[in-house]
Structure 1
Amino acid sequence: MTIFQALPFFPASLTRDENALPVAADADAVDLGALPEWDLSDLYPAPDSPELTRDVAALEAACASFARDYEGRLASLNGARMLECIERYQQIDVLGGRIMSYAGLRYYQNTTDAGRAKFMGDLQDRITQATTRLVFFSLEFNRISDDRYAEIFADPEGPARYKPVFDRMRAMRPYQLSDELERFLHDNSVVGAAAWNRLFDETTAGLTFEVEGETLGIEATLDLLTDHDRARREAGARALAKVFGQNIKLFARIHNTLAKEKAIEDKWRKMPTPQMGRHLSNHVEPEVVEALRNAVTAAYPRLSHRYYRLKAKWLGLDKLQVWDRNAPLPSQNPRNIRWPEARATVLDAYAGFSPKLADLAQPFFDHGWIDAGVKPGKAPGAFAHPTVTTVHPYVLLNYLGKPRDVMTLAHELGHGVHQRLAATQGELLAATPLTLAETASVFGEMLTFRALLAKTTDPVQRKALIAGKVEDMINTVVRQIAFYDFECKLHAARAEGELTPEDINALWMSVQGESLGDAFEFMPGYETFWTYIPHFVHSPFYVYAYAFGDGLVNALYAAYEDGLPGFQEKYFALLSAGGSRHHKELLAPFGLDASDPAFWDKGLSMIEKLIDELEAMES
């Protein structure tokens, strides 16, 4: 087990697709109502506040005293003493998580602010240095014999409730290095992956694109890919390709370095595959992920290929270009959805499922837990960061009033509600494995979509709504599995040697045609569009969690629609469990089993049914 991470929130829920969360060039000119900003004072009043200074010093002292009291003694502790030890460790986790949450959230409000970057970097250095004293904990715990381990957790006065945490930690036993090497890796992290991550973030945030006489940032340019005007979409796509091409050597260097760094660590740990570390952290069996991947790739012809042929027909095109993939339908009535309407839409949809769900989401709007506006230097995309269990989550959006932005709000609020419910487990047990981390977010989207669909009677608008949902599901399932395959190919190829930009481009294109189908042509330059997707940099092999979550929610929603008795209570129990139970145990009350290949087909069939409905509208 590692102590809190310096930026634990970044991959929690970022852009699920490179075009999913755009930022408009004329955002300031659109009247969206008063958009909320974060109030971070629940963490700390200010960067120079005495409270923050006090907590940094307290963390350093707590790490030192913890090491003095327990290093070399874990195996000798009885149940009661072990419980005390674990709870002290948990309090350090809370303290460090609070400090770095504050620093990280301030940074992501403006990643181009050198002062904020320095503030975060300096804190990260201090906390990494302090927590090096704690590296012994997981290493020594994993050396406790199986008999002694069972005895400690069987003690009625012991730490039995924390056993799931340590069972997951002990899964790393075969891959554990010496104490000295583990300390080195911990210390080196601030100049290893974390440094390359920051370089990626700051480079991406600083890119500018020339489009028809305007100088735009990356999100404003991506927004053009959803414009009603096809010429504008093409101009945006070509501007993206030009700038990505100009910077491709840097992005290739970042990916080469991170993939090699991971390969070296995996070799020392004797990890059987590059993906194994992710599977272990997700507490999911490799064969379950493989069953998901195989089910989705087998469904490409029934899902994305079929849908995009329909879309080409709607747009009056023989072939789609990349700038048509997320284009609105010609019949779709463009309008901006003001913030008050978006808020009411999502809260009403949540309340329609359960008033409790809406009550859990309400404080995000009322107490400065959402930062919604588009600002210079702000991190692109969206995420929900749980901070620590003694405070509350924060949600970041780049809200522009488009229907997809409303769905993003529903998605991130789902994460926030999940994080609030799981917080009752305490810091060590609250963190949900990625396999279940997308459950509440995707379910929140589904509730919002179904609520909107139920009150949409106009056939044209109904078609646009269903088509938008199908595209979101394809982006979440098909596209993310294609991303996963790209990563698998990239890491395998990097093991054979340095990759040129052209090598990486070819790997990217090898999954694009397969996943998107024969309805597409690919413009020169699209081969570089892997360059700015953050998951590949921040969280290798993360992306399959989105497909896992969508398939899981589709199956859950089918059980809900079928009237499964006590569904709401079972659903809240699932979310409240956090990381305290395995996905197999949590899904059993719903009659679901993710290890069954038929499970994934059930989820994919929901997407097929929506495409069936769209096809029926054509007849």
Structure 2
Amino acid sequence: MSYSEVWDLDVFFKGGSASPEFAQYMNEIKSDIEKLDIHISNWQVTSTDGDEQVLASIMSQYEKISSRLMQASAFIECLAAQDVKDQGAKQLGSQLTAYIAKAKGITAKLDEKLVQLDDGFFAELIERDSLREISFILNERRNKAKEKLSVAEETLIEKLSVDGYHGWSDLYDSIVGSIEIPFVVDGEEKVLSVGQAHNIFAHPDRSVRQRMFVEWEKAWKKQEELFAHALNHIAGFRLNVYESRGWDDFLKEPLETNRMKKETLDSMWNAITDRKEHMHKFLQRKAELLGLEKLSWYDLDAPLDQTEQKRLSYDEGAQFILKHFASFGQQLTAFTEKAFEDAWIEAEDRANKRPGGFCTGFPESNQSRIFMTYSGTLNNVSTLAHELGHAFHSYAMRDVHPLNQDYAMNVAETASTFAEMIVSDAAVNEAQSTKEKIAMLEDKIQRTIALLMNIHARFLFETRFYEERKEGFVSADRLNELMVEAQKEAYFDSLEEYHPLFWASKLHFYITGTTFYNFPYTFGYLFSLGIYEKALHSGGEFEEKYIALLKDTGSMNVEDLVRKHLDEDITSKGFWEKAVDTCMKDIDLFLELTQSQAVQGKKQ
């Protein structure tokens, strides 16, 4: 079976960024927002039965607008990702940002109305038939509204954010889109996009990786002053808003957004930190196997043995994923086959594509789209499985009330990492030789290192950067220092050379829609390990339980979610220790299988 490596967007709107159909769709969104504004403004709160019908009608309108904004956002994101030079997509993105800001300003009025309702009446109201299904969402909105500024002030913030906040993120994307890195690959001089250039760090030849790292650093160094301004102003805007609201903790927003407690976050990081020495042993062993005293940043993704590294065509990668998904459940397999057959995936390795990968949902069409650059590595296959997991999460929630489908990023990473685990674990188990098993196992452990060490470095950096940003502008030189300090701590000082400009090269630091775009990845990874362990011991019937858990992810706090479906307390370190120890078992096996090779390497 041959699958297309280019996604189909015409099924949504034909003509790309110049689509007349999409232009009409955007006009309809604008009109719907204006109608919602009038409806909310005309609502005279009385804390009587008359409020039920009004609120139910408003929430129905809001549901429609939310779905349409997500549909439009997904389409624009896909256009911008497939061609960073698409100016039309950038203009549409700016237009949509303004619409979203307008909608947020209007829903601030809704939140004010919710606060005006008598506490006792509100508690009784949301349990009525017309509103019970979205009671969690309404209660959450009301509680958050109590901690915000007046409607006029919050609306002004949203208006100013278009150019004073999101604009810095747009600037970053524009600069990154223009970066080209000249590089000689296999004797041929090419001009690479940053996405293509990043794939070179998985090259088996260290001299090639090293040359790329030099060029990589040069590329980001040229723009570091602009990136420093963008990062500082994004953080500065956030901190000013927090201060105005009376919030003294910059983690308040990301924790509330992820519906989790600070105790949960601290317990997770403490469990990871306690086991850093074990991860350090893996990095030391990998260095020995590569004939090095210590790994450098550009060695982290290096394959151990060129002869043992499989290169899979896109179709082979697809079949690999389908084969192993089939070992888990029929619904996941059937869904994934549909995604491949209906061209939901943009995987072609070509110039002018955005770096990285993502999955985005088209809620009105009940479809998703996956973006990545596929070059045939096992890591690419894992990334593809990861993004398919995201898409399956949306599919699993297709019958859930639309307003209960807005799950937080930490649980969003659960389904994706779970899907990734199915593929990577099965790949290790079916290895045909010890060398192949080592290669597969190392690829799997690389993700543990990335999620428990790399992500930890990002969290440490961002936390310390925000502390210093409270006192004023943080220079590019200081950002470099903070990044290296964070990397040394997170990697247990295991590396010889670090990546000081990682703060400039990592898109996640510049995402304005989500603050602290880091720790949810680690949460999702470890949470998924707990689910995966249960799946291994539950047999084929577990898929239904898994889908039941996914359906609840948009309407529960994570502590309650885990207590309900896994009967665990995630505010305690014990849950996280068990999850991290699952990763350590992989490292133990790797150390055992490579012991003789390491000894031989030392003798040489």
Structure 2 length as normaliser, TM-score? 0.92
* Aligned partners of 1:97 and 1:388 also within 8 Å: yes
* Aligned partners of 1:347 and 1:358 also within 8 Å: yes
User: Does residue 322 of structure 1 match 2:297?
Assistant: yes
Cα distance in 2 for partners of 1:566, 1:86 equals 36
User: Does residue 138 of structure 1 match 2:111?
Assistant: yes
Change (3 A) 1:347 1:507: same
Letter in 2 for 1:118: Q
Which residue is 2:424 aligned to?
449
Change (3 A) 1:603 1:50: same
Give, in angstroms, the shift of residue 127 of structure 1: 5.7
Change (3 A) 1:507 1:83: same
1:418 aligned to 393, 418, 421, which one? 393
Which residue is 1:163 aligned to?
135
Secondary structure of 2:359's aligned partner? strand
2:501 aligned to 528, 550, 556, which one? 528
1:66 aligned to 18, 33, 36, which one? 36
Once the two structures are overlaid, the 10-residue window that deviates more, 344-353 or 141-150, is: 141-150
* Aligned partners of 2:43 and 2:54 also within 8 Å: no
Give, in angstroms, the shift of residue 128 of structure 1: 4.2
2:455 aligned to 470, 480, 485, which one? 480
Q: Deviations over 1:539-575 (max 9, x none)?
A: 3312101110111111122222233895322111111
Once the two structures are overlaid, the 10-residue window that deviates more, 146-155 or 385-394, is: 385-394
After TM superposition, the structure 1 = structure 2 runs for residues 208-247 of structure 1, keeping only pairs within 5 Å, are 208-212=180-184, 214-247=190-223
* Aligned partners of 2:209 and 2:298 also within 8 Å: yes
Q: Deviations over 1:470-502 (max 9, x none)?
A: 111110222112211110000001111211111
Letter in 1 for 2:219: V
Cα distance in 1 for partners of 2:306, 2:75 equals 45
After TM superposition, the structure 1 = structure 2 runs for residues 608-619 of structure 1, keeping only pairs within 5 Å, are 608-617=584-593, 618=595
Once the two structures are overlaid, the 10-residue window that deviates more, 329-338 or 534-543, is: 329-338
Letter in 2 for 1:283: R
2:243 aligned to 244, 247, 267, which one? 267
Letter in 2 for 1:60: K
Cα distance in 1 for partners of 2:207, 2:95 equals 46
User: Does residue 204 of structure 1 match 2:179?
Assistant: no
1:379 aligned to 339, 342, 354, which one? 354
User: Does residue 106 of structure 1 match 2:79?
Assistant: yes
Give, in angstroms, the shift of residue 79 of structure 1: 2.7
Give, in angstroms, the shift of residue 444 of structure 1: 0.4
Change (3 A) 1:49 1:210: closer
Query: Post-superposition, which runs of at least 4 consecutive aligned residues in structure 1 deviate over 6 A?
Result: none
Cα distance in 2 for partners of 1:129, 1:83 equals 21
Give, in angstroms, the shift of residue 50 of structure 1: 4.9
Cα distance in 1 for partners of 2:29, 2:301 equals 47
Q: Deviations over 1:62-99 (max 9, x none)?
A: 22222223325263343344222211211122223223
After TM superposition, the structure 1 = structure 2 runs for residues 570-585 of structure 1, keeping only pairs within 5 Å, are 570-585=545-560
Give, in angstroms, the shift of residue 607 of structure 1: 1.2
* Aligned partners of 1:33 and 1:338 also within 8 Å: no
Cα distance in 1 for partners of 2:287, 2:520 equals 29
* Aligned partners of 2:429 and 2:437 also within 8 Å: no
* Aligned partners of 1:319 and 1:519 also within 8 Å: yes
User: Does residue 91 of structure 1 match 2:60?
Assistant: no
User: Does residue 185 of structure 1 match 2:157?
Assistant: yes
Which residue is 2:12 aligned to?
43
Which residue is 2:600 aligned to?
none
Q: Deviations over 1:147-204 (max 9, x none)?
A: 1211211223x30110111222233134311111111122222212221111111211
Cα distance in 1 for partners of 2:372, 2:78 equals 12
Letter in 1 for 2:426: A
Letter in 1 for 2:427: L
Give, in angstroms, the shift of residue 336 of structure 1: 2.3
Cα distance in 2 for partners of 1:50, 1:488 equals 44
Letter in 1 for 2:131: P
2:491 aligned to 516, 532, 541, which one? 516
Cα distance in 1 for partners of 2:2, 2:173 equals 29
Cα distance in 1 for partners of 2:509, 2:478 equals 16
Letter in 2 for 1:137: L
* Aligned partners of 1:80 and 1:159 also within 8 Å: no
Give, in angstroms, the shift of residue 239 of structure 1: 0.9
Change (3 A) 1:98 1:565: closer
Letter in 1 for 2:555: S
Letter in 2 for 1:39: D
Cα distance in 1 for partners of 2:221, 2:79 equals 31
Cα distance in 1 for partners of 2:150, 2:210 equals 54
Structure of greater relative contact order (alpha carbons < 8 Å, 6+ residues apart): 1
Change (3 A) 1:326 1:282: same
Give, in angstroms, the shift of residue 217 of structure 1: 2.3
Secondary structure of 1:211's aligned partner? strand
5+ residue gaps, structure 1, are 1-31
Letter in 1 for 2:370: V
State the number of aligned residues. 584
Letter in 2 for 1:201: D
* Aligned partners of 1:422 and 1:578 also within 8 Å: no
5+ residue gaps, structure 2, are 597-604
Letter in 2 for 1:260: G
Q: Deviations over 1:251-297 (max 9, x none)?
A: 11111111111110110112231111011111111111111122222
Cα distance in 1 for partners of 2:207, 2:178 equals 25
Letter in 2 for 1:362: E
Which residue is 1:465 aligned to?
440
Give, in angstroms, the shift of residue 528 of structure 1: 1.7
Cα distance in 1 for partners of 2:4, 2:243 equals 48
Cα distance in 2 for partners of 1:331, 1:54 equals 53
Give, in angstroms, the shift of residue 598 of structure 1: 0.5
Q: Deviations over 1:352-396 (max 9, x none)?
A: 101111112222112121111123222111101013254311111
Cα distance in 1 for partners of 2:474, 2:493 equals 28
Secondary structure of 2:503's aligned partner? coil
Give, in angstroms, the shift of residue 129 of structure 1: 4.5
Change (3 A) 1:173 1:338: same
User: Does residue 279 of structure 1 match 2:248?
Assistant: no
Once the two structures are overlaid, the 10-residue window that deviates more, 57-66 or 595-604, is: 57-66
Letter in 1 for 2:255: H
Cα distance in 2 for partners of 1:266, 1:474 equals 33
RMSD: 2.2
Q: Deviations over 1:210-246 (max 9, x none)?
A: 3345433222322222111111111011111122222
Cα distance in 1 for partners of 2:492, 2:33 equals 54
Cα distance in 1 for partners of 2:549, 2:197 equals 39
Which residue is 2:599 aligned to?
none
Letter in 2 for 1:576: K
Which residue is 2:333 aligned to?
358
Q: Deviations over 1:303-338 (max 9, x none)?
A: 2x1111111111111122222221110365234201
* Aligned partners of 1:554 and 1:606 also within 8 Å: yes
